[in-house]
Amino acid sequence: MKRILIADDHDAVRCGIRAVLEQRPGWNIAAEAADGKTAFEAALKERPDVAIVDFSMPRMTGLEVTRRIKKHLHATEVLIFTAHDSHILAQEAFQAGARAFLAKSDANKLLLAAVESLMAHRPFCGGRFFLRSRRELEETEGGAGLSPRERLVVKLVAEGHSNKGISTILSSSVKTTEAHRASAMDKLGVNSVAGLVRYAVRAKLIE
């Protein structure tokens, strides 16, 4: 029997994931969690084969949950599940130790395939996502030297999110978001949201 942990702060999302996974004989939902801290504690207790972890959760981000799971449970494979489509975010997820990355909008088509890959200890990066090297990212983005988190903040600003909204998405403080935003603007030599948007379009961070 294969054991799966589902961690997401929305009841409806967890219910949807469960409904999809329970189609497969031999797969058992070992535990569910509505925040990052509970997710990590449940992982330590249940030792699941696969942990499906939302990127944005209260009390601990999905990336931090992933890092802690991989530090203590080497055999548990992690799938980062997110509502925010971003190659940068995918790169961060894999760097944290996840072996699969999937947008929630692709769940109906790809969730079973992603979990099957992880059960076989194979990586999965489905839908629109793919991994790119740091050099490729820098070349695409004009050699601006932005960190992965700065690029993600720029993308979210360009999509119209406020500092507070970005902080909620990334489970960070508003002060930290403001610092990443200011640093990115300084590196890019821009002084307005319009400048960030133009850069995001040029760098293909947004359509």
* Residue 128 confidence (pLDDT): 57
- Specify the CATH number for 134-202; select among 3.40.50.10420, 1.10.1040.10, 1.10.10.10, 1.10.540.10: 1.10.10.10
Question: 138-162 burial, b for 16+ CB within 10 Å, e for fewer?
Answer: eeebeebebebbbbbbbbbbbbebe
Q: Which pLDDT tens digit goes with each residue over 121-132?
A: 998 876 555 555
Query: In the chain, which residues fall in CATH 3.40.50.2300?
Result: 2-125
Query: In the chain, which residues fall in CATH 1.10.10.10?
Result: 134-202
Packed helices 174-188 and 163-170: angle between N→C axes, nearest 10 degrees: 110
What is the Cα–Cα distance from 63 to 170, expressed in whole angstroms? 10
* Residue 91 confidence (pLDDT): 78
- Which residues of the chain are under the pLDDT cut of 70? 85-86, 126-144, 207
Q: Which CATH number is 2-125 given?
A: 3.40.50.2300
Q: Which pLDDT tens digit goes with each residue over 63-89?
A: 899 999 999 999 999 999 888 766 777
What is the Cα–Cα distance from 92 to 87, expressed in whole angstroms? 9
What is the Cα–Cα distance from 87 to 138, expressed in whole angstroms? 13
Q: What is the pTM of this model?
A: 0.70
* Residue 127 confidence (pLDDT): 58
Partnered with residue 79 across adjacent β-strands are 52, 100
